[in-house]
Amino acid sequence: MAYETIVVDVENHIATIKLNRPDALNALNVQLLGELAKALGELDRNEKIRCIILTGSAKAFAAGADIKEMSEKSFVDMFLLDFFGGEAEAITRTRKPVIAAVSGYALGGGCELAMMCDFIIAADTAKFGQPEINLGIVAGMGGTQRLTRLVGKSKSMDMHLTGRFMDAEEAERAGLVSRVVPAKKLMEEARTAAEKVAEKSMLTAKAVKEAVNRSYETTLSEGLLYERRMFHAMFATEDQNEGMSAFADKRSPQFRDR
């Protein structure tokens, strides 16, 4: 399927979605968010795909929601369109692992899109920020909630109230990104990580995602119980049998997602 604002590339079991509005530093407009949601839905249903990488350009992962598109809208417009509900949250409904590979600016909605992914690999050129306050608005794609859970209240308040940018090193220290790599190696590192994920049982990977994401939604004791029951359930799968047999036989497991 041809898209205008994203480029989807599939190689072996890995799909790469590149945000592609270079003239607007990949600002997230309605068309881009719709195309992204459609692509994610198709890739999630495609049995050949085992991991998805979301990336942008060297200069910008995404510089935020499209300010030009939003500037003339009223409260009623935003409310009736439910701006940034629905399609904008498609990543969070994707059951397959999604890795964000971030280079350059990841601001506002760009930072929020990266945070919806399962983990973030950042180039040493990456800059994260929630500068919405400079536009007289608050974040609208999850920044006040997800950034706070990831980096804690103090740094989240700092980012949202001052609108300053955080470099990759600070983002890694704060727990926003999982690793920082040289900009030139970003896609190679993201691909290596995606290949590692793709080798695993997709059944188990989906269970991991559900269990980790549950930690955001529930209490510790409920989350621990959910994890334990999920752990028990794994013993009904062929892949548990294969994984443990392979360990005993000193060979690599051949998972079948069953």
Q: What is the set of active-site residues?
A: 65, 109, 112, 132
Of 81 and 212, which CB lies nearer to ligand CAA in the complex structure?
81
Of 27 and 36, which CB lies nearer to ligand CAA in the complex structure?
27
Point out which residues bind ligand CAA (CB under 6 A). 24-25, 27, 63-68, 84, 105, 107-109, 112, 131-132, 135, 139-141, 143
Contact assessment for residue 8 and residue 36, using Cβ atoms and an 8 Å cutoff: no
Q: How far is the CB of 143 from ligand CAA (least distance, A)?
A: 6
Contact assessment for residue 81 and residue 44, using Cβ atoms and an 8 Å cutoff: no
Of 107 and 193, which CB lies nearer to ligand CAA in the complex structure?
107
Q: How far is the CB of 10 from ligand CAA (least distance, A)?
A: 28
Of 11 and 23, which CB lies nearer to ligand CAA in the complex structure?
23
Amino acid letter at 94?
A: T
